[in-house]
Amino acid sequence: MQNTIGSLRRAPVNVVAGGVPELCAQCDARHIGLCDALHDDDLHFLASVAQQVSIEKGRGFVTEGDPARQFFNINHGTAKLFKDLPDGRRQITGFVGAGDFIGLAANATYMFGAEALEPVQLCSFDRAELRAVFARFPAIERRLLDVASHELIIAQEQMLLLGRKTAVERVASFLDGWGLRVASCQGGATRLDLPMTRNDLAEYLGLTVETISRALATLRKQGVVAVGADHVISILNPARLTAIGQAEG
């Protein structure tokens, strides 16, 4: 991805009513992601070092092993994070959406790959340029520390999910977590339009596609979910779904 941060810094930032940068006005992640650490009046500085990028469905935008020169803030859409094994197998390690900040690699290279599951809009930040933002707005650096801490929690939960939970508990845990993600963006989460395929979900949960289907059938028979066409899942009993996902029986 070509770096055009320098030219973006010299260009004026267009604003809309209220002084909010045009880049940020319609962003799905304005109040749930990295930018939530800033007041509207300060957003223009962050916008001036951001490159807005559109990623087509199925296109990768992070390659494992490449130099980690950029951070990414997802504004719209969903992407999957993964690691490729030497024998050709792939392990999906997570799904990211609006408000998620990725690329916080401690090493000099990316430790994962990323691919859009649907059309994705994101802001790309050059690591060197972002240091100037940290100096002026310490709140952003604190937010990134929060993100790093949250990623550790997610990693621990994933280890528990893969190591100890049953297939039904894994699927319930995923649906419950995805519902919380949707609720944070839309204010409700009874209908989940999953952007990932059953195969993606199987790779993430460490199951087969057939086992995913059987687990969904079990949840459907228990009256917890309804399974529709085109990857649509309706949550009929959120409390029961949470209890199953947390292995509470």
The answer to whether residues 22 and 136 belong to one domain is yes
pLDDT in tens, 154-204: 666 666 666 678 999 999 989 988 888 777 666 555 789 899 999 999 999
The answer to whether 68 and 126 have CB atoms below 8 angstroms apart is no
Given a cut of 80, whether residue 10 has pLDDT beyond it is no
CA dist 119 and 228 (Å) reads 22
Q: Which of 114, 132, 159 is the last residue of a domain?
A: 159
| pLDDT value for 241 | 94
Among residues 159, 191, 222, which one ends one of the domains? 159
- Who wins on pLDDT, 166 or 2? 166
Last residue of a domain, one of 126, 144, 159: 159
Highest-pLDDT range among 16-30, 113-127, 175-189: 113-127
One domain, residues 134 and 198: no
pLDDT at 11 over 80: no
Provide the CATH number for the domain around residue 82.
Answer: 2.60.120.10
DSSP the chain: ----HHHHHHSPPPB-TTS-BHHHHT-TTTTTSGGGGS-GGGHHHHHTTEEEEEE-TT-EEE-TTSB--EEEEEEES-EEEEEE-TTS-EEEEEEE-TT-EE---SSSB-SSEEEESS-EEEEEEEHHHHHHHHHH-HHHHHHHHHHHHHHHHHHHHHHHHHHH--HHHHHHHHHHHHHHHHHHHHS--SEEE--S-HHHHHHHHT--HHHHHHHHHHHHHTTSEEE-STTEEEES-HHHHHHHHTT--
- CATH number of the domain enclosing 217: 1.10.10.10
Q: Bigger pLDDT: 146 or 179?
A: 179
Q: Is the pLDDT of residue 26 over 80?
A: no
Question: Is the domain of 46 the same as that of 101?
Answer: yes
Instruction: Give the range of the structural domain holding residue 70, as residue numbers without chain letter.
Output: 5-159
225 shares its domain with 142: no
**What is the number of alpha carbons within 13 Å of residue 201 lying toward its C-beta?**
22
Residues 152 and 174 in one domain: no
Let me know whether 221 and 175 are in one domain: yes
Domain tally, the chain: 2
- Classify burial at 231, counting beta carbons within 10 Å of its beta carbon; exposed 0-12, middle 13-18, buried 19 or more: middle
| 36 in the same domain as 125 | yes
More confident residue, 215 or 6: 215
Residue 133 has pLDDT above 50, yes or no: yes
Work out the mean pLDDT of the chain and round it to a whole number: 81
127 with 232, same domain: the answer is no
**One domain, residues 121 and 225:** no
